[in-house]
Structure 1
Amino acid sequence: MSLFQEIAFKAELDRHVHPECEYQARIICGEDPITRANVVEELRNMINERGECHPPRLDDAFLLRFLRARRFIPARAHRLMVRYCTFREQNPHLWRDVYWYGISRLGNIFEGVLFDRPDVGRLIICRLGEWDPYVFPVEELIRGCLLLVELGTMQPKLQVLGCTVIVDCEGIGMKHARQLTPSIALQAMNVMGFTLPLHQRGVHIVNCSRLFEKLLYVFKRLAPSDDIWERVHFHGYDYNSLHRYIDPVCLPKRYGGYRESVTLKEWLTKIKKYKNKEFDEDMRTLGYAVDE
C-alpha cells in the first residue's frame, strides 16, 4: 500500500475544518462562518419547538451535516432531519446494535476512491455482481450502504463535497434480480439520497443490460422525490458516456481511469486501526455496536 493511501486512511478520521474546506463550504453549501452558529441554533430551536423528530444528537457538529446537505437553509435541513429520523425509526434492523466493523464481511462489493474533488466528491462503487444473495441477504447490502454514508458524513470534507455513486451491474443475473423487491428498492433510494445528510451528486449505472435497465425503471414510480431519479444516469457498456460526467482522473482503471480503488473491507480495517474514543462515541450514539 502506498504512503499516499496510508495518509488518506488516517485522514478518514479527521474532524477538523481546514481552510480549503471552509472556502468550498461557502461555494457549495452557502455556509458563512460569521453566521454559522446562529443558523445552527435556528435549526436546533426548530427541532425542539416542532417536535416532529427526535434526533440521536443535537450538538453543532451533527446539525451541521444536515445544513450542509441543504444549502444551509434551516427549513430544508429540518425536513431532511425528519426524514432521517423517520427512516431510522422504521428500519431499526439496519443499524441498531449492528457491529459496524462486522460489515467488512461484504468485502469488495463496495469500493471507494480516496481522491475527493469538488466536482465529484467521494466516488463510491457498488459492484452488485460480486454479491452472492445465497451468502448475504439483500438487507446486508443496505446496511453496508447506510454505514458508508454514516461514516462518510462524519467528515466535514465529505459533508461539503458529497459523493458520486457508480452501480456496476456486471455479473448480475436472475438470482440477484429476484431480491430487488419494491421495499428494498425504496430503502436503497432513501439511503442513497433522500433521507441521509449527504449531497448526492449523481448515480451512474454501468455494465447494465437493457433488460435490467427496464427492471430498474419499474422502480421509478417508487422514488420519494423526482429529484432522485433525475440524478440517475444509465451508460450501458459505454465508458465514454460515463466519462462525460466523471473525469477519468477520478475513476478506477477498470472504468478507463487512473485510480486504485479501495474495498470496503480495506477501508473499515484501516478505520478500526486508527479510530479513537471520539469515533466510538459517535458510533455508539448512532446505535451501532462498538468494541468494548
Structure 2
Amino acid sequence: MSSSDFRIERNVELSPETKEIAERELRETPERMREAIERLRELLKENDDLYFSDDDEILTIFLRPCKWYPESALALMRRLAEFRRDNAALLDDLVPEHEEEAFLRHKMANVMKGRDHKGRRVLIVSVGGTWDPKKVSADQLFRLFYLIHVASLLEPESQVRGCVVIMDYKDMGMAQVRAMSPSFSKRLLTFIQDAMPMRLKEVHFVNQPYVFNLVWALFKPFIREKLKNRIFFHGTKMSSLHKHLAPSHLPADYGGELPAIDYSGADWYPALNDAIQHINNWNTYGFRK
C-alpha cells in the first residue's frame, strides 16, 4: 500500500468549501446530481455502441467536468471512446506495470505531495535535461501522463477543483526537441482538449530555453482558445509563477517555501497499483467490441 503522502484520495467526502465551489462552478446540487446520473444512465442504454460502467462513481467522473449536463457528459464519453480507438496501440490494456521502469528509474512525471493553495493537484513534468528520449520515448511519456490521469480521476476533490501542470524545460536540448514530434504534440493536445475528464485549470511553462520555441511551434497550431488562455510562460522568473501558485504551497525548486522535492514518480508508483482495479476497468470503456 502507498504511504499517506502518496495516495489516491478516493471515497473522500467533499469539504464544505469544495461543495460551495462545486455548486457555484459546476451547478452541483444533490437533486441535480440524482437527475443527471439517472439521465446519463438512460443515454448510455440508448447509445448501445458505447460501453461504460453506469455506477455513480464513474458517471460522476464524466458529469462534473460537464457541469452536470448529461448530454455533454455522453459526448465526452464518446470522444474518449474515439481517442482510445484511434490510439489503441498505445492504450489498450495499459497498466502501471508496463511502464514500471519509467516510473521507478526516470524522473519525468511527478505529482506534488500536497495540493496548491486552491486545493488543486499539481503535476510536474520534467522534459528538459532530465528526460533521455533514448531510454523513455515520447509515446512512453504520454502513457505515464495517461496512467496518472486515470488514477487521479478517482479523487472527488480533484474532480471539482481540477489540476495544474508545471512543464519544466530546464536544460532542454535538441534530443528532447526532436522527440516531441508533430504526432506526439497532436495526440497530447487532442487528449487534453477533447477526451480528458479532468478539469485542467492552468499550465505553466518554466525554465524554457531558446530551443523551446521549436517545440512551441509544433504545439501552437493545435491549441484552441480555451486552453491557450490557461497557458502561462515564466522562463526562470519564479516571481511570475508565484502570481498563480502561492510560494507557501510550492517547493524550493520553484522558489517556494516548501522543502526541495526529494521524491519522484517512484514514490507514487504504489498508489497507481492501489488503483489497479479501477485502471483495469477503465481499459474496458469505449466502443463495444
Mapping for residues 1-292 of structure 1, pairs under 5 Å: 6-10=3-7, 12-20=8-16, 21-50=18-47, 54-106=50-102, 107-117=106-116, 119=118, 121-129=120-128, 130-213=130-213, 215-223=215-223, 225-260=224-259, 261=261, 262-272=263-273, 275=274, 279-287=275-283
CA displacement at 1:193 relative to structure 2: 4.3
How far apart, in 2, do the equivalents of 1:132 and 1:139 lie? 13
Normalised by the length of structure 1, the TM-score is: 0.85
Whether the aligned pair in 1 keeps the contact of 2:167 and 2:204 (CA below 8 Å) is yes
Normalised by the length of structure 2, the TM-score is: 0.86
Gaps of 5+ in 1: none
The one-letter code sitting in structure 2 at the alignment partner of 1:212 is F
Aligned pair in 2 of structure 1 residues 81, 175: CA closer, same or farther (>3 Å)? Answer: same
CA RMSD of aligned residues (A): 2.3
Give the secondary-structure state (helix, strand or coil) at the position aligned to 1:116: coil
Whether the aligned pair in 1 keeps the contact of 2:185 and 2:218 (CA below 8 Å) is no
Report what 2:287 is aligned to.
none
CA displacement at 1:140 relative to structure 2: 0.1
Gaps of 5+ in 2: 285-289
**Larger RCO, structures 1/2 (Cα 8 Å, 6+ apart):** 2
CA displacement at 1:270 relative to structure 2: 4.4
Whether the aligned pair in 2 keeps the contact of 1:109 and 1:128 (CA below 8 Å) is yes
How far apart, in 1, do the equivalents of 2:46 and 2:220 lie? 35
The one-letter code sitting in structure 1 at the alignment partner of 2:281 is T
Aligned pair in 2 of structure 1 residues 170, 118: CA closer, same or farther (>3 Å)? Answer: closer
How far apart, in 2, do the equivalents of 1:156 and 1:210 lie? 39
CA displacement at 1:50 relative to structure 2: 4.3
Aligned pair in 2 of structure 1 residues 54, 253: CA closer, same or farther (>3 Å)? Answer: same
Give the secondary-structure state (helix, strand or coil) at the position aligned to 2:114: strand
Aligned pair in 2 of structure 1 residues 194, 114: CA closer, same or farther (>3 Å)? Answer: farther
How far apart, in 1, do the equivalents of 2:244 and 2:116 lie? 13
How far apart, in 2, do the equivalents of 1:271 and 1:145 lie? 12
Aligned pair in 2 of structure 1 residues 200, 120: CA closer, same or farther (>3 Å)? Answer: farther
Larger mean Cα displacement after TM superposition, 106-115 or 141-150: 106-115
Give the secondary-structure state (helix, strand or coil) at the position aligned to 2:167: strand
CA displacement at 1:175 relative to structure 2: 0.9
Larger mean Cα displacement after TM superposition, 196-205 or 110-119: 110-119
How many residue pairs were aligned?
Answer: 276
CA displacement at 1:214 relative to structure 2: 5.1
Q: Identity of paired residues, percent?
A: 25
Larger mean Cα displacement after TM superposition, 129-138 or 188-197: 188-197
Runs (4 or more) in structure 1 with deviation over 6 Å come to none
Note the alpha carbon deviations across 1:176-206, whole angstroms, 9 max, x for none: 1112122100121233343110000011111
The one-letter code sitting in structure 1 at the alignment partner of 2:279 is M
CA displacement at 1:153 relative to structure 2: 0.4
How far apart, in 2, do the equivalents of 1:55 and 1:171 lie? 44
Aligned pair in 2 of structure 1 residues 131, 30: CA closer, same or farther (>3 Å)? Answer: same
Aligned pair in 2 of structure 1 residues 117, 74: CA closer, same or farther (>3 Å)? Answer: farther
Whether the aligned pair in 2 keeps the contact of 1:193 and 1:200 (CA below 8 Å) is no
The one-letter code sitting in structure 1 at the alignment partner of 2:173 is G
The one-letter code sitting in structure 2 at the alignment partner of 1:126 is V
